[in-house]
Protein backbone atom coordinates (compact mmCIF):
# COMPACT_ATOMS: atom_id res chain seq x y z
CA UNK A 1 0.00 0.00 0.00
CA UNK A 2 1.32 3.40 -0.89
CA UNK A 3 2.51 5.73 1.80
CA UNK A 4 2.29 9.48 1.64
CA UNK A 5 5.36 11.21 2.98
CA UNK A 6 5.33 14.65 4.58
CA UNK A 7 8.54 16.02 6.05
CA UNK A 8 9.10 18.04 9.19
CA UNK A 9 12.62 19.29 9.76
CA UNK A 10 13.67 20.63 13.14
CA UNK A 11 14.59 24.31 12.80
CA UNK A 12 13.50 24.44 9.13
CA UNK A 13 10.14 25.32 7.65
CA UNK A 14 9.07 22.62 5.17
CA UNK A 15 6.00 22.38 2.96
CA UNK A 16 4.93 19.37 0.97
CA UNK A 17 6.10 19.55 -2.64
CA UNK A 18 9.40 21.36 -2.11
CA UNK A 19 11.72 22.62 0.58
CA UNK A 20 10.74 26.23 1.35
CA UNK A 21 12.53 28.42 3.84
CA UNK A 22 10.72 31.53 4.95
CA UNK A 23 12.20 34.69 6.44
CA UNK A 24 12.36 34.35 10.19
CA UNK A 25 12.74 30.60 10.15
CA UNK A 26 16.53 30.73 10.21
CA UNK A 27 19.11 33.12 11.53
CA UNK A 28 22.22 31.35 10.36
CA UNK A 29 23.32 29.51 7.25
CA UNK A 30 22.30 25.85 7.43
CA UNK A 31 23.80 22.99 5.52
CA UNK A 32 22.73 19.39 5.41
CA UNK A 33 22.42 16.32 3.25
CA UNK A 34 19.85 13.79 2.19
CA UNK A 35 19.71 10.62 0.14
CA UNK A 36 18.15 10.98 -3.28
CA UNK A 37 16.47 7.79 -4.52
CA UNK A 38 15.95 7.59 -8.27
CA UNK A 39 14.07 4.65 -9.80
CA UNK A 40 15.78 2.40 -12.33
CA UNK A 41 13.37 0.98 -14.92
CA UNK A 42 13.37 -2.14 -17.07
CA UNK A 43 10.98 -3.50 -19.68
CA UNK A 44 8.28 -5.73 -18.21
CA UNK A 45 8.97 -8.30 -20.91
CA UNK A 46 12.59 -8.54 -19.79
CA UNK A 47 11.66 -8.85 -16.13
CA UNK A 48 9.07 -11.56 -16.77
CA UNK A 49 11.46 -13.53 -18.98
CA UNK A 50 13.91 -13.64 -16.05
CA UNK A 51 11.49 -14.43 -13.26
CA UNK A 52 13.47 -17.48 -12.09
CA UNK A 53 16.07 -15.94 -9.80
CA UNK A 54 18.90 -17.37 -7.73
CA UNK A 55 17.50 -19.81 -5.10
CA UNK A 56 20.24 -18.65 -2.73
CA UNK A 57 19.12 -15.01 -2.80
CA UNK A 58 19.48 -13.64 0.72
CA UNK A 59 16.37 -12.69 2.65
CA UNK A 60 16.68 -8.98 3.35
CA UNK A 61 13.19 -7.86 4.33
CA UNK A 62 10.36 -10.24 5.17
CA UNK A 63 6.79 -9.62 4.10
CA UNK A 64 3.72 -11.80 3.59
CA UNK A 65 3.85 -15.55 4.27
CA UNK A 66 1.86 -18.33 2.60
CA UNK A 67 2.02 -22.12 2.84
CA UNK A 68 0.84 -24.87 0.52
CA UNK A 69 1.79 -28.49 0.86
CA UNK A 70 5.41 -28.75 1.95
CA UNK A 71 6.33 -25.30 0.61
CA UNK A 72 6.57 -21.95 2.33
CA UNK A 73 6.20 -18.88 0.12
CA UNK A 74 7.87 -15.89 1.78
CA UNK A 75 7.59 -12.45 0.26
CA UNK A 76 10.75 -10.35 0.01
CA UNK A 77 9.26 -6.84 0.13
CA UNK A 78 9.21 -5.31 -3.36
CA UNK A 79 11.71 -7.93 -4.60
CA UNK A 80 9.96 -11.26 -5.06
CA UNK A 81 9.12 -14.57 -3.42
CA UNK A 82 11.41 -17.04 -1.66
CA UNK A 83 10.14 -20.60 -2.07
CA UNK A 84 11.25 -22.75 0.83
CA UNK A 85 11.05 -26.54 0.93
CA UNK A 86 9.76 -27.26 4.42
CA UNK A 87 9.51 -31.05 4.14
CA UNK A 88 11.74 -31.12 7.20
CA UNK A 89 10.86 -28.10 9.39
CA UNK A 90 14.09 -28.53 11.31
CA UNK A 91 16.00 -27.96 8.07
CA UNK A 92 14.06 -25.61 5.74
CA UNK A 93 15.77 -25.19 2.37
CA UNK A 94 15.55 -22.16 0.11
CA UNK A 95 14.82 -23.98 -3.12
CA UNK A 96 13.72 -21.24 -5.53
CA UNK A 97 13.33 -17.50 -5.82
CA UNK A 98 10.85 -15.69 -8.04
CA UNK A 99 12.26 -12.30 -8.96
CA UNK A 100 9.18 -10.05 -9.01
CA UNK A 101 9.82 -6.32 -8.52
CA UNK A 102 7.11 -4.62 -6.49
CA UNK A 103 5.79 -7.88 -5.05
CA UNK A 104 3.92 -7.83 -1.75
CA UNK A 105 1.15 -10.43 -2.04
CA UNK A 106 0.91 -14.18 -2.63
CA UNK A 107 -1.81 -16.74 -3.33
CA UNK A 108 -1.71 -20.26 -4.79
CA UNK A 109 -4.48 -22.24 -6.50
CA UNK A 110 -3.60 -25.72 -7.74
CA UNK A 111 -0.19 -25.18 -9.38
CA UNK A 112 -0.76 -21.52 -10.22
CA UNK A 113 0.75 -18.80 -8.07
CA UNK A 114 -0.84 -15.35 -8.12
CA UNK A 115 1.32 -12.39 -7.20
CA UNK A 116 1.41 -8.65 -7.65
CA UNK A 117 4.11 -6.86 -9.60
CA UNK A 118 3.38 -3.30 -8.56
CA UNK A 119 0.06 -2.56 -10.30
CA UNK A 120 -0.17 -5.84 -12.23
CA UNK A 121 -1.56 -9.19 -11.08
CA UNK A 122 0.50 -12.10 -12.44
CA UNK A 123 -0.47 -15.76 -12.83
CA UNK A 124 2.58 -18.03 -12.69
CA UNK A 125 2.80 -21.76 -13.37
CA UNK A 126 4.85 -23.37 -10.57
CA UNK A 127 4.30 -27.00 -11.59
CA UNK A 128 8.09 -27.08 -11.81
CA UNK A 129 9.11 -24.94 -8.88
CA UNK A 130 12.56 -24.37 -10.43
CA UNK A 131 11.27 -23.30 -13.85
CA UNK A 132 8.31 -21.08 -13.17
CA UNK A 133 6.49 -19.62 -16.18
CA UNK A 134 4.38 -16.49 -16.35
CA UNK A 135 1.05 -17.48 -17.91
CA UNK A 136 -0.86 -14.23 -17.88
CA UNK A 137 -1.39 -10.88 -16.22
CA UNK A 138 -4.07 -8.39 -15.33
CA UNK A 139 -2.53 -4.97 -15.81
CA UNK A 140 -3.41 -2.13 -13.49
CA UNK A 141 -5.38 -4.25 -11.00
CA UNK A 142 -3.50 -2.91 -7.96
CA UNK A 143 -4.63 0.58 -8.88
CA UNK A 144 -2.82 2.39 -6.08
CA UNK A 145 0.60 1.12 -7.20
CA UNK A 146 1.09 2.47 -10.72
CA UNK A 147 4.54 4.04 -10.59
CA UNK A 148 5.97 3.42 -14.05
CA UNK A 149 5.11 3.69 -17.75
CA UNK A 150 2.78 0.86 -18.91
CA UNK A 151 5.52 -1.32 -20.40
CA UNK A 152 8.14 -0.75 -17.71
CA UNK A 153 8.69 -1.59 -14.08
CA UNK A 154 10.95 -0.28 -11.32
CA UNK A 155 13.66 -2.88 -10.70
CA UNK A 156 15.99 -1.01 -8.37
CA UNK A 157 16.91 2.40 -7.00
CA UNK A 158 20.04 4.45 -7.50
CA UNK A 159 21.06 6.29 -4.36
CA UNK A 160 22.99 9.54 -4.22
CA UNK A 161 24.04 11.59 -1.21
CA UNK A 162 23.06 15.17 -1.98
CA UNK A 163 23.87 18.33 -0.06
CA UNK A 164 21.85 21.49 0.36
CA UNK A 165 22.56 24.95 1.78
CA UNK A 166 20.06 27.39 3.24
CA UNK A 167 20.82 31.12 3.23
CA UNK A 168 19.18 33.27 5.93
CA UNK A 169 16.07 35.13 4.73
CA UNK A 170 16.33 33.32 1.42
CA UNK A 171 14.89 30.40 -0.42
CA UNK A 172 16.94 27.33 -1.30
CA UNK A 173 15.58 24.43 -3.27
CA UNK A 174 17.06 20.96 -3.31
CA UNK A 175 19.90 21.11 -5.83
CA UNK A 176 18.99 18.12 -7.96
CA UNK A 177 15.67 17.10 -9.43
CA UNK A 178 14.79 13.49 -8.75
CA UNK A 179 12.41 11.13 -7.06
CA UNK A 180 12.64 11.60 -3.30
CA UNK A 181 8.97 11.34 -2.46
CA UNK A 182 8.24 14.90 -1.33
CA UNK A 183 4.47 15.21 -1.43
CA UNK A 184 4.33 11.98 -3.41
CA UNK A 185 4.03 8.29 -2.94
CA UNK A 186 6.89 5.93 -2.27
CA UNK A 187 6.93 2.17 -1.86
CA UNK A 188 10.67 1.60 -1.59
CA UNK A 189 11.35 0.99 2.12
CA UNK A 190 14.88 2.33 1.81
CA UNK A 191 13.48 5.57 0.46
CA UNK A 192 11.04 5.81 3.35
CA UNK A 193 13.83 5.22 5.87
CA UNK A 194 16.08 7.74 4.18
CA UNK A 195 13.35 10.35 4.20
CA UNK A 196 12.71 9.71 7.86
CA UNK A 197 16.43 10.07 8.53
CA UNK A 198 16.48 13.33 6.57
CA UNK A 199 13.43 14.68 8.38
CA UNK A 200 15.05 14.12 11.75
CA UNK A 201 18.46 15.25 10.46
CA UNK A 202 19.17 11.48 10.95
CA UNK A 203 -7.41 -21.99 5.54
CA UNK A 204 -5.12 -24.77 6.16
CA UNK A 205 -3.80 -26.17 2.88
CA UNK A 206 -6.99 -28.06 2.10
CA UNK A 207 -8.28 -28.50 -1.41
CA UNK A 208 -6.57 -26.58 -4.15
CA UNK A 209 -5.40 -23.53 -2.22
CA UNK A 210 -3.02 -22.96 0.67
CA UNK A 211 -3.03 -20.87 3.83
CA UNK A 212 -2.15 -17.20 4.14
CA UNK A 213 -1.27 -15.22 7.23
CA UNK A 214 -3.70 -12.83 8.91
CA UNK A 215 -2.03 -9.80 7.29
CA UNK A 216 -3.02 -10.98 3.79
CA UNK A 217 -4.86 -8.63 1.43
CA UNK A 218 -5.63 -11.32 -1.14
CA UNK A 219 -7.45 -14.66 -0.97
CA UNK A 220 -8.46 -17.35 -3.48
CA UNK A 221 -11.81 -19.12 -3.22
CA UNK A 222 -12.94 -21.43 -5.98
CA UNK A 223 -12.63 -19.71 -9.33
CA UNK A 224 -12.28 -16.24 -7.82
CA UNK A 225 -9.54 -14.11 -6.37
CA UNK A 226 -10.59 -11.41 -3.91
CA UNK A 227 -8.22 -8.61 -2.98
CA UNK A 228 -7.88 -5.08 -1.69
CA UNK A 229 -6.32 -3.32 -4.71
CA UNK A 230 -6.35 0.00 -2.88
CA UNK A 231 -7.36 0.99 0.61
CA UNK A 232 -11.05 1.56 -0.10
CA UNK A 233 -11.87 -1.15 -2.65
CA UNK A 234 -12.67 -4.85 -2.91
CA UNK A 235 -11.55 -6.34 -6.22
CA UNK A 236 -12.92 -9.53 -7.75
CA UNK A 237 -10.97 -11.43 -10.41
CA UNK A 238 -12.15 -14.61 -12.11
CA UNK A 239 -9.26 -17.06 -12.44
CA UNK A 240 -10.99 -19.97 -14.18
CA UNK A 241 -8.55 -19.44 -17.05
CA UNK A 242 -5.19 -18.78 -15.43
CA UNK A 243 -3.79 -17.43 -18.70
CA UNK A 244 -6.37 -14.66 -18.68
CA UNK A 245 -7.27 -13.38 -15.21
CA UNK A 246 -10.54 -11.53 -15.75
CA UNK A 247 -11.44 -8.46 -13.71
CA UNK A 248 -15.08 -8.71 -12.66
CA UNK A 249 -15.27 -5.64 -10.46
CA UNK A 250 -13.39 -3.31 -8.18
CA UNK A 251 -15.77 -1.33 -6.01
CA UNK A 252 -15.82 0.81 -2.90
CA UNK A 253 -16.04 -1.54 0.10
CA UNK A 254 -15.08 0.54 3.15
CA UNK A 255 -12.48 2.96 4.42
CA UNK A 256 -8.82 2.26 5.27
CA UNK A 257 -9.05 -1.44 4.40
CA UNK A 258 -6.00 -3.47 5.43
CA UNK A 259 -6.65 -7.22 5.53
CA UNK A 260 -8.97 -9.88 4.13
CA UNK A 261 -10.01 -13.14 5.79
CA UNK A 262 -12.39 -15.79 4.38
CA UNK A 263 -14.84 -17.63 6.62
CA UNK A 264 -17.48 -19.94 5.13
CA UNK A 265 -19.35 -17.85 2.53
CA UNK A 266 -18.15 -14.54 3.97
CA UNK A 267 -15.18 -12.21 3.64
CA UNK A 268 -14.02 -10.21 6.64
CA UNK A 269 -12.31 -6.99 5.59
CA UNK A 270 -10.26 -5.54 8.42
CA UNK A 271 -9.87 -1.78 8.43
CA UNK A 272 -8.58 0.92 10.76
CA UNK A 273 -12.18 1.60 11.77
CA UNK A 274 -13.64 -1.86 12.12
CA UNK A 275 -14.47 -5.02 10.19
CA UNK A 276 -16.69 -5.06 7.12
CA UNK A 277 -18.52 -8.33 6.43
CA UNK A 278 -19.23 -9.29 2.81
CA UNK A 279 -21.27 -12.23 1.58
CA UNK A 280 -19.92 -14.20 -1.38
CA UNK A 281 -22.92 -16.51 -1.71
CA UNK A 282 -22.86 -15.11 -5.24
CA UNK A 283 -19.08 -15.39 -5.76
CA UNK A 284 -18.87 -12.84 -8.56
CA UNK A 285 -20.81 -10.18 -6.69
CA UNK A 286 -19.79 -9.71 -3.03
CA UNK A 287 -22.37 -7.76 -1.06
CA UNK A 288 -21.93 -6.04 2.28
CA UNK A 289 -24.08 -7.68 4.93
CA UNK A 290 -22.73 -6.11 8.10
CA UNK A 291 -19.88 -4.51 9.99
CA UNK A 292 -18.59 -4.17 13.50
CA UNK A 293 -16.76 -1.08 14.68
CA UNK A 294 -13.81 -0.45 16.96
CA UNK A 295 -11.59 2.49 17.82
CA UNK A 296 -9.16 3.71 15.18
CA UNK A 297 -6.22 1.28 14.98
CA UNK A 298 -4.46 -1.16 12.66
CA UNK A 299 -6.57 -4.25 12.45
CA UNK A 300 -6.01 -7.85 11.32
CA UNK A 301 -9.03 -10.11 11.95
CA UNK A 302 -9.51 -13.89 11.98
CA UNK A 303 -12.51 -16.02 12.86
CA UNK A 304 -13.94 -19.48 13.25
CA UNK A 305 -17.59 -20.49 13.22
CA UNK A 306 -18.20 -19.14 16.73
CA UNK A 307 -15.81 -16.29 17.44
CA UNK A 308 -13.87 -13.51 15.74
CA UNK A 309 -10.54 -12.23 17.03
CA UNK A 310 -9.25 -8.76 16.22
CA UNK A 311 -5.94 -7.18 17.21
CA UNK A 312 -5.83 -3.40 17.54
CA UNK A 313 -2.51 -1.58 17.35
CA UNK A 314 -1.82 2.09 17.93
CA UNK A 315 0.96 4.22 16.45
CA UNK A 316 2.95 3.67 13.23
CA UNK A 317 0.34 5.56 11.24
CA UNK A 318 -2.46 3.46 12.73
CA UNK A 319 -4.01 6.25 14.77
CA UNK A 320 -5.79 5.83 18.08
CA UNK A 321 -4.30 4.57 21.31
CA UNK A 322 -5.64 1.03 21.62
CA UNK A 323 -3.28 -1.94 21.94
CA UNK A 324 -5.52 -4.89 22.61
CA UNK A 325 -7.02 -8.17 21.47
CA UNK A 326 -10.80 -8.10 21.07
CA UNK A 327 -12.96 -11.22 21.06
CA UNK A 328 -16.40 -11.11 19.47
CA UNK A 329 -19.20 -13.63 19.36
CA UNK A 330 -19.55 -14.63 15.72
CA UNK A 331 -22.15 -17.36 15.58
CA UNK A 332 -23.90 -14.75 13.49
CA UNK A 333 -20.89 -13.03 11.93
CA UNK A 334 -23.14 -10.34 10.46
CA UNK A 335 -24.10 -9.28 13.97
CA UNK A 336 -20.91 -9.98 15.88
CA UNK A 337 -21.05 -8.88 19.50
CA UNK A 338 -18.15 -7.90 21.82
CA UNK A 339 -17.25 -10.60 24.33
CA UNK A 340 -13.98 -9.50 25.93
CA UNK A 341 -10.88 -7.33 25.43
CA UNK A 342 -7.34 -8.22 26.48
CA UNK A 343 -4.53 -5.65 26.86
CA UNK A 344 -1.53 -6.05 24.56
CA UNK A 345 1.73 -4.18 23.98
CA UNK A 346 1.76 -3.77 20.19
CA UNK A 347 -0.11 -6.68 18.59
CA UNK A 348 0.06 -7.57 14.89
CA UNK A 349 -0.78 -10.90 13.23
CA UNK A 350 -2.65 -13.80 14.80
CA UNK A 351 -3.96 -17.27 13.98
CA UNK A 352 -6.01 -20.16 15.34
CA UNK A 353 -5.46 -23.89 15.50
CA UNK A 354 -8.41 -25.53 17.17
CA UNK A 355 -8.66 -24.12 20.68
CA UNK A 356 -5.20 -22.54 20.52
CA UNK A 357 -4.82 -18.85 19.68
CA UNK A 358 -1.45 -17.37 18.69
CA UNK A 359 -0.91 -13.58 18.81
CA UNK A 360 2.19 -11.63 17.75
CA UNK A 361 2.87 -8.94 20.34
CA UNK A 362 6.00 -6.76 20.23
CA UNK A 363 8.74 -9.14 21.42
CA UNK A 364 6.84 -12.39 21.81
CA UNK A 365 4.23 -14.65 20.28
CA UNK A 366 1.60 -15.32 22.93
CA UNK A 367 -0.05 -18.72 23.03
CA UNK A 368 -3.53 -18.79 24.55
CA UNK A 369 -5.95 -21.53 25.44
CA UNK A 370 -9.06 -20.18 23.72
CA UNK A 371 -11.44 -22.93 24.86
CA UNK A 372 -13.28 -20.23 26.76
CA UNK A 373 -12.84 -17.04 24.68
CA UNK A 374 -14.28 -14.75 27.36
CA UNK A 375 -11.50 -15.93 29.67
CA UNK A 376 -8.41 -16.64 27.57
CA UNK A 377 -5.62 -18.41 29.42
CA UNK A 378 -2.03 -17.51 28.54
CA UNK A 379 -0.09 -20.77 28.18
CA UNK A 380 3.28 -19.43 27.06
CA UNK A 381 5.11 -16.48 25.51
CA UNK A 382 7.55 -17.38 22.76
CA UNK A 383 10.43 -14.86 22.45
CA UNK A 384 10.57 -13.42 18.91
CA UNK A 385 11.62 -9.85 18.25
CA UNK A 386 9.11 -7.86 16.19
CA UNK A 387 6.93 -10.76 15.01
CA UNK A 388 4.58 -9.69 12.24
CA UNK A 389 2.47 -12.71 11.33
CA UNK A 390 1.94 -16.37 12.19
CA UNK A 391 0.60 -19.57 10.68
CA UNK A 392 -0.03 -22.61 12.87
CA UNK A 393 -0.56 -26.00 11.28
CA UNK A 394 0.10 -29.59 12.27
CA UNK A 395 1.90 -28.56 15.49
CA UNK A 396 4.35 -26.35 13.60
CA UNK A 397 4.20 -22.61 14.24
CA UNK A 398 5.62 -20.39 11.50
CA UNK A 399 6.51 -16.87 12.59
CA UNK A 400 7.61 -14.21 10.13
CA UNK A 401 9.46 -11.42 11.92
CA UNK A 402 11.85 -8.56 11.31
CA UNK A 403 14.76 -10.93 11.94
CA UNK A 404 13.64 -13.74 9.64
CA UNK A 405 11.48 -16.85 9.56
CA UNK A 406 11.14 -18.87 12.76
CA UNK A 407 9.58 -22.29 13.30
CA UNK A 408 8.44 -23.79 16.58
CA UNK A 409 6.93 -27.05 17.79
CA UNK A 410 3.80 -26.39 19.87
CA UNK A 411 2.88 -30.04 20.55
CA UNK A 412 3.01 -28.94 24.19
CA UNK A 413 1.65 -25.37 23.97
CA UNK A 414 2.88 -24.60 27.46
CA UNK A 415 6.45 -25.42 26.45
CA UNK A 416 6.92 -24.33 22.85
CA UNK A 417 10.24 -25.46 21.38
CA UNK A 418 12.35 -23.85 18.67
CA UNK A 419 12.78 -25.94 15.53
CA UNK A 420 14.61 -23.76 13.00
CA UNK A 421 15.43 -20.23 11.91
CA UNK A 422 16.10 -18.63 8.53
CA UNK A 423 17.75 -15.27 9.19
CA UNK A 424 17.35 -11.96 7.44
CA UNK A 425 20.63 -11.32 5.63
CA UNK A 426 22.61 -13.27 8.26
CA UNK A 427 20.90 -11.33 11.04
CA UNK A 428 21.35 -12.67 14.55
CA UNK A 429 17.99 -11.27 15.69
State the Cα–Cα distance between residues 267 and 280, nearest whole angstrom: 7
For residues 299, 304, 306 and 312, what is the CA-based torsion angle, rounded to 10 degrees?
Answer: -10
Local structure of 362: helix, strand or coil: coil
Residue by residue, DSSP assigns 299-343 as: --EEE-SSEEEEEEB-STT--SS--EEEEEE-TTGGG-EEEEEEE
How much is the pLDDT for 266?
95
Q: Give buried/exposed letters for 41-54 (b at 16+ CB in 10 A, else e).
A: beebeebbeebbbe
pLDDT digits (tens, 9 = 90+) for 73-88: 999 999 999 999 999 9
Nearest to 408 by CA among 369, 371, 364, 354: 364
Which residues, in sequence order, are CB contacts of 197 under 8 Å at separation 6+? 35
What lies within 8 Å, CB to CB, of 405 at 6+ separation is 59, 62, 65, 72, 74, 84, 92, 398, 399, 421, 422
Q: 100-123: per-residue pLDDT in tens? A: 999 999 999 999 999 999 999 999
Q: Which residues pair with 265 in a beta bridge?
A: none
Distance CA(118)–CA(153), nearest Å, equals 8
- pLDDT tens, residue by residue, 336-371: 888 999 999 999 999 999 999 999 999 999 999 999
Alpha helix ranges (H) inside 38-84: 44-49
Work out the mean pLDDT of the chain and round it to a whole number. Answer: 83
Q: What angle do CA 185, 187, 188 make, to 5 degrees?
A: 125
- For residues 284 and 249, give the distance between their C-alpha atoms in angstroms, rounded to a whole number: 8
Q: Which tens digits make up the pLDDT trace of 148-159?
A: 888 999 998 898
User: Looking at residue 317, what is its pLDDT?
Assistant: 61
Residue 303's contacts (CB-CB under 8 Å, 6 or more residues apart) are 261, 263, 268, 309, 330, 333
Q: Where are the beta strands (DSSP E) in 189-316?
A: 211-212, 218-221, 224-227, 233-238, 246-252, 257-263, 266-271, 274-279, 287-293, 301-303, 307-312
- Region 195-217: what's the mean pLDDT? 59
Distance CA 338, CA 215 (A): 22
Residue 388 Rama label (left phi>0; alpha psi -120 to 50; beta): alpha
pLDDT of residue 123: 98
pLDDT at position 164 = 67
| Secondary structure percentages of the chain, helix, strand, coil, to 5 | 5, 50, 45
| Sign of the dihedral defined by the CA atoms of residues 118, 291, 298, 267, in that order | negative
pLDDT at 195: 29
How many other CB atoms are there within 10 angstroms of residue 308's CB atom?
24
CA distance 103 to 121: 10
| H-run or E-run covering 96 | strand 93-99
Q: How many CA atoms lie within 13 A of 423 on its CB side?
A: 5
Distance CA 373, CA 194 (A): 43
State residue 143 phi and psi, 5-degree precision: -60, -20
Mean pLDDT score, 127-140: 96
Summarize pLDDT for 3-58 with one digit per residue, the tens. 333 333 333 333 333 444 444 444 556 677 778 889 999 999 999 999 999 999 99
Domains and CATH numbers, the chain: 40-155+189-423 (2.130.10.10)
Rg (CA), the chain: 22
Per-residue pLDDT of 222-257, as tens digits, reads 999 999 999 999 999 999 999 999 999 999 998 889
What is the per-residue pLDDT for 192?
Answer: 31
Look at residues 219, 272, 186, 194 and name the one whose alpha carbon lies nearest to residue 64.
219
Q: Quote the percentage of the chain above a pLDDT of 70.
A: 79
Q: What is the biggest distance separating any 2 CA atoms in the chain, rounded to whole angstroms?
A: 69
Neighbours of 244 (CB within 10 A): 13
Amino acid sequence: MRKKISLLLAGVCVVTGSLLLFPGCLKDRVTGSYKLYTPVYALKSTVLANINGDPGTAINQTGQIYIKGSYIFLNEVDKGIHIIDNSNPSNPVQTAFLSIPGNLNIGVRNNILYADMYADLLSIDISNIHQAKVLGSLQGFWEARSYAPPNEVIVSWSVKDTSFTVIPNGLTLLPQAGYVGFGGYVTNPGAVNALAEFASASNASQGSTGMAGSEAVMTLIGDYLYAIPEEHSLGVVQVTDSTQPNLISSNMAGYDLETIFPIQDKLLLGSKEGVFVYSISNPSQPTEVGEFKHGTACDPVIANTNYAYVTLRAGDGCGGSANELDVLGAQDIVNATPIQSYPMTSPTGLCLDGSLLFVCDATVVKVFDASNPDNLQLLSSVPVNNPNDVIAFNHVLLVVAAGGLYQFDYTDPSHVKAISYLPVNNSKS
